[in-house]
């Protein structure tokens, strides 16, 4: 005999498949809201038997229900709003989500005194740009959802600006031995950035501004370590750390020159083509490391590094789009942004599976087709 829990488990799988087939990757103006309303009704009905379900299954259905309800509102908004304006605004919402996710990867739940303020300032600059463009699209009769997205960006801007203050406070108020540890952690974070985003990468696809940030961060970290001398920190360890930073700075400065040389020797079209090729390389890495694998067994930090790399490529594609738009580059930027949205959903699912809050049998989603999406799939 099939229990209610068994049938609900099958329903969760069916709902995921129906959403992928009927909504993921499709323009909200073209989909059938009645079908999503039916899926919502079935999910609500299944949750009436929550008492006999596992906690993971119930949470999965509740999460799906909340997602479907949000999507239904956005579909109705899209089908009643001006099409071009909505599409432009929707793209800005996705861009903001990518910046929110970048903050979460690098700041949320981390020790403040070790965080990269320069990265946070870059995220803030990106969000401020999104906010300005959102305001330019809003009209008096714009939907509540659109205005709500703009308001959310405003809230995050306020939160992130305050976080900059708190990061500085956390470091300034620490003791000398604590500062020594924090500075070592800061240096190690920059070494990781280089290892993930520069080592063995195509120089034409590397962003000089990021290398400048790494070099600047390490230079200031070295200076702060030097000021700790004679203030109760272990001299041998502090000197060793400063020596390591000095050696790495020499390597990174030399690499910066090589990157600049490679980029200068390439045409604009070659640079854009290479960015697309680099993105394809990351997509292939996902296929190998995640697609079809049990979520409890994959390396979530690897996925976070891949998201960081795609963000770097997206930033450069965006910069080219601002200076002189080219259709293939614009299409590549959309593909990269959409793939990142899919992977962010996958990141949440992996986190839940590894924390024991989602069905452990779930498998990572296969890579999506390389066509632009009008909203984030899940």
Query: Tokens 């605004």 sit at which residue?
Result: 89
* 326 and 365 fall within a common domain: yes
Query: What is d(CA 91, CA 146) in angstroms, rounded to the nearest whole number?
Result: 11
| CB-based contact 28:79 (threshold 8 Å) | yes
Could you list the residue range(s) of the whole structural domain that residue 14 is in?
Answer: 1-80
Which structure tokens are listed for 58? 């119930």
* 283 and 339 fall within a common domain: yes
Query: What is d(CA 121, CA 157) in angstroms, rounded to the nearest whole number?
Result: 10
Q: How many domains does the chain have?
A: 4
Q: Where is the domain boundary, 80, 107, 135? A: 80
Q: Where is the domain boundary, 173, 197, 215? A: 173
| CB-based contact 310:346 (threshold 8 Å) | no
363 strand-pairing partners: 294
H helix intervals, the chain: 4-22, 33-47, 55-80, 83-106, 117-137, 144-172, 176-197, 208-228, 235-265, 268-289, 300-323, 327-355
What pLDDT score does 2 carry?
Answer: 35
What pLDDT score does 5 carry?
Answer: 46
Around Cβ 110, how many Cβ atoms within 10 Å? Answer: 15
What values do phi and psi take at 363, rounded to 5?
-110, 150
Reference 130, options 149, 112, 115, 144; nearest CA is 149
What values do phi and psi take at 81, rounded to 5?
-95, 170
- As a whole number of Å, the CA-based R_g of the chain is 23
* 248 and 303 fall within a common domain: no
Query: What is d(CA 41, CA 171) in angstroms, rounded to the nearest whole number?
Result: 51
Q: What is the DSSP string of 120-159?
A: HHHHHHHHHHHHHHHHHH--TT--HHHHHHHHHHHHHHHH
| CB-based contact 89:149 (threshold 8 Å) | yes
Q: What is the DSSP string of 85-108?
A: HHHHHHHHHHHHHHHHHHHHHHTT
* 261 and 272 fall within a common domain: no
| CB-based contact 87:120 (threshold 8 Å) | no
294 strand-pairing partners: 363
* 51 and 1 fall within a common domain: yes
Reference 78, options 41, 38, 26; nearest CA is 26
- CA 364: distance to chain centroid? 17
* 63 and 92 fall within a common domain: no
Q: Where is the domain boundary, 142, 173, 204? A: 173
What pLDDT score does 28 carry?
Answer: 77
* 337 and 317 fall within a common domain: yes
Query: What is d(CA 289, CA 150) in angstroms, rounded to the nearest whole number?
Result: 36
* Global pTM value: 0.77
pLDDT < 50 stretches in the chain: 1-6, 358-378
Query: Tokens 């700075």 sit at which residue?
Result: 249
* 289 and 345 fall within a common domain: yes
pLDDT digits 0-9 by tens, 334-376: 999 999 999 998 999 999 899 875 444 344 444 443 332 222 2
Around Cβ 357, how many Cβ atoms within 10 Å? Answer: 13
């Amino acid at each position: 005999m099939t229990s209610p829990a068994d049938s609900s488990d099958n329903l969760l799988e069916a709902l995921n498949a129906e959403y992928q087939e009927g909504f993921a990757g499709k323009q909200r103006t073209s989909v059938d809201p009645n079908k999503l309303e039916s899926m919502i009704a079935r999910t609500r009905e299944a949750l009436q038997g929550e008492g006999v379900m596992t906690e993971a299954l119930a949470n999965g259905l509740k999460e799906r229900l909340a997602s479907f309800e949000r999507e239904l509102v956005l579909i109705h908004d899209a089908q009643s709003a001006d099409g071009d304006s909505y599409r432009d605004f929707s793209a800005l919402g996705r861009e903001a989500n990518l910046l929110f996710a970048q903050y979460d990867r690098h700041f949320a739940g981390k020790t403040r005194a070790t965080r990269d303020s320069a990265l946070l300032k870059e995220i803030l600059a990106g969000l401020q740009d999104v906010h300005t463009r959102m305001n330019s699209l809003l009209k008096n009769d714009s939907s509540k959802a659109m205005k709500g997205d703009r308001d959310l960006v405003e809230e995050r801007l306020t939160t992130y600006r305050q976080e900059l203050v708190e990061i500085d406070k956390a470091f300034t108020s620490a003791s000398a031995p604590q500062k020594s540890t924090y500075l070592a952690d800061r240096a190690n974070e920059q070494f990781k950035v280089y290892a993930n985003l520069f080592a063995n990468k195509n120089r034409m696809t590397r962003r000089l501004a990021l290398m400048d940030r790494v070099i600047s961060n390490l230079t200031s970290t070295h200076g702060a370590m030097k000021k700790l001398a004679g203030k109760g920190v272990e001299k041998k360890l502090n000197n060793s750390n400063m020596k390591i930073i000095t050696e790495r700075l020499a390597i990174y400065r030399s690499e910066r020159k090589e990157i600049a040389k490679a980029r200068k020797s390439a045409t604009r079209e070659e640079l854009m083509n290479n960015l697309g090729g680099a993105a394809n390389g990351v997509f292939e890495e996902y296929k190998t490391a995640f697609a079809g694998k049990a979520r409890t067994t994959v390396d979530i930090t690897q996925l976070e590094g891949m998201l960081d790399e795609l963000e770097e490529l997206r930033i450069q594609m965006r910069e080219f789009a601002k200076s002189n738009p080219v259709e293939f580059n614009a299409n590549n930027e959309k593909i990269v942004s959409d793939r990142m949205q899919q992977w962010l959903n996958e990141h949440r699912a992996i986190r839940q599976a590894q924390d024991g809050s989602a069905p452990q049998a779930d498998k990572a989603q296969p890579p999506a087709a390389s066509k632009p999406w009008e909203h984030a799939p899940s």
